[in-house]
Amino acid sequence: MVHAQFDNSARQQLAIAAVEAKTRRDVSWQQIADAAGLSVAFVTAAVLGQHALPQQSAQAVAELLGLDDDAVMLLQTIPTRGSLDGSIPTDPTIYRFYEMLQVYGTTLKALVHEQFGDGIISAINFKLDVKKVADPEGGERAVITLDGKYLPTKPF
């Protein structure tokens, strides 16, 4: 049976325990994703409390991290999503994404609507990828791909 959370505190506590176990066992998010058999972005989000994992994946993650049966059960529950509170984020990495949306949010909206019409980009039917590439001017660049299904607004 599928179960859903109505309060994110249990998943937050599990996320804290899972990250501590990840650190103690010195494993990467990619290793956890490989054990789960799913993408690194999805599994990372799930362990951090933003997605439910299928039973087999939840068991594999818990085994790798040394988590108990309660964690396996909780990893399978549909969470109350949203990892940020309503205030402006203070973590510099998260804040930069907030800043990007502040600067480019209306541009993205205008371009999506011009190309697709009235609707939204799904964060449920969605893929995320992060890659490190060389910068031709020196250093490195982050290439972040957000790939969501377009869902048109339907009059009723």
Catalogue the active-site residues: 96, 99, 122
What's the token pair of residue 119? Answer: 């609707």
What's the token pair of residue 47? Answer: 């362990």
**CB 151, CB 117: distance < 8 Å:** no
Which residue is listed with tokens 């020196």? 138
Give me the helix-helix angle, 40-47 and 29-36, nearest 10°. 100
Q: How far apart are the first and last CA of the chain?
A: 32
